[in-house]
Every structure is written in structure tokens, then in C-alpha cells.
Amino acid sequence: MDETHDTSGSPGPSHQRLFFALWPSDAERRALARWRDALPKLRGRFVPAGNLHMTLAFAGSVDAVTRDCLVQRAADVRGEPCTVQLDRLGRFSRGLMWVGPQTCPAPLATLARSLSGVLADCGLEPDSRPFHAHVTLARAMRTRLPDAAAPNHVWRLDRFCLVCSRPGQGYEVLRTFPLGIQTLGSLSMDSGSME
């Protein structure tokens, strides 16, 4: 479920590479990066602190009509706020080091399923693999996982975001969707580049 798994190539000039994500606070991301940076003898490409996030559903390269559909459908998603405990350290193939919850909270799994439904409603094909809640910490790791306890950080899930991935330029949060009881006007527009 990491947006780097897409192999469809770079988006065209009228397309954007989009995904839904849990985008924590700056303080939460910095704390996780500090923990990772203190691990001994890690060799790989560290994900910058400002880019740490949890992908919930990957849309891929989409045109403006599909983007607008994603925004409209996501605004109807109702979810339950919860906390996500990052207490498991792991490694995927291709040297991807990640941290995530030992047990995925039910509200998080439900939100990921709902956002896969949003993709389908907008004519996209959701990832067929089961949702695996994780935050990518490093890529192209050339060392084994460190013999260290997971950070046991807690992230608050009270909103999710639609994010644009700009290869070589970082991420931009396009829209934030609060969870829980939503009132008219609760949908906010966030525009901020993440390097």
C-alpha cells in the first residue's frame, strides 16, 4: 500500500499522482525521524521527516475529472477517530524498512476499505492486496533490521488527506478530510509542499 509500489510511470502534464494518507503532525513526524536516525548502522535512503506518512489508498496518475471525483466521494466518508500505535518494525522486499501497528485498529482498517471504495466509485482499480498499515522509514536498505525495539509512538487518527506525489519534489497535501461528526464547511483545503 505504499505509493512507491506503482509502476505506471510518471503522470502526464494534465495528470496528478494521488493517494489518500494519514498525514500526522510535524511534531509526530519529527519524533519518529529522530528515533529512526538514532538507530545504529543503518544504510539506505532515509525518508525525510516531512514526508513520513501512512498510505491508505493509492489512486495513481489521474486526470482532473477523476481528482474531483475523489475529492467529492472522500468528503462523504465517515470514519471513527482512533489512535495508531507504531509498535512493530519490519522490512519489505527491495529493502523497504517500515514501522506500523502490531494490530491494525478496526477504525483504521475500515477507513482504508472505505477509501478503496472511493477509488472504485471513481473508476479506478483499488489495490487487491490486503491493507498493511505502515510508515516507510527508509528505502534501499543494505543492512539487516536493527536489533532494536520499535518506537512505540502513537499517532492520532482524526483526519485523512488527499496527497499529490511530485517525483523529485516531495508531496503536497491537497485536501484534508476530518473524521467523526462532520458539519457543513468542515472540509478544509490544505496546500503545502512537503520536501
Residue 195 has pLDDT above 90, yes or no: no
Share the mean pLDDT of the chain. Answer: 86
* Residue scoring higher pLDDT (106 or 194): 106
Residue 66 has pLDDT above 70, yes or no: yes
* E strands present in the chain: 16-22, 45-46, 54-62, 82-86, 88-92, 96-100, 135-139, 153-157, 159-166, 170-178, 188-194
Domain spans of the chain?
Answer: 14-194
CATH 3.20.20.140 fits 14-194, yes or no: no
Confidence class for position 1, pLDDT limits 50, 70, 90: very low
Place of cell 519534489: 169
Q: What is the DSSP letter of 177?
A: E
Annotated catalytic residue within 5, 53, 132, 153? 53
Q: What percent of the chain has pLDDT over 90?
A: 67
Q: What is the pLDDT of residues 121-164, one digit of tens each?
A: 999 999 999 999 999 999 998 878 888 888 889 999 999 999 99
pLDDT of residue 186: 38
pLDDT of residue 189: 41
Residue 191 has pLDDT above 70, yes or no: no
Annotated catalytic residue within 5, 15, 132, 134? 134
Residue 188 has pLDDT above 60, yes or no: no
Question: Can 5 be counted among the known catalytic residues?
Answer: no
pLDDT of residue 40: 83
Residues contacting 18, CB < 8 A, separation 6+: 59, 60, 62, 67, 70, 162, 163, 164, 165, 174
pTM for this model (two decimals): 0.84
pLDDT of residue 181: 61
pLDDT of residue 169: 81
Most confident of 39-43, 138-142, 187-191: 138-142
Question: Can 15 be counted among the known catalytic residues?
Answer: no
Confidence class for position 42, pLDDT limits 50, 70, 90: confident
Q: What is the pLDDT of residues 74-133, one digit of tens each?
A: 999 989 999 999 999 999 888 899 999 999 999 999 999 999 999 999 999 999 999 999
Distance in angstroms (rounded) separating the CA atoms of residues 89 and 102: 9
Burial class of residue 94, CB neighbours in 10 A (0-12, 13-18, 19+): exposed
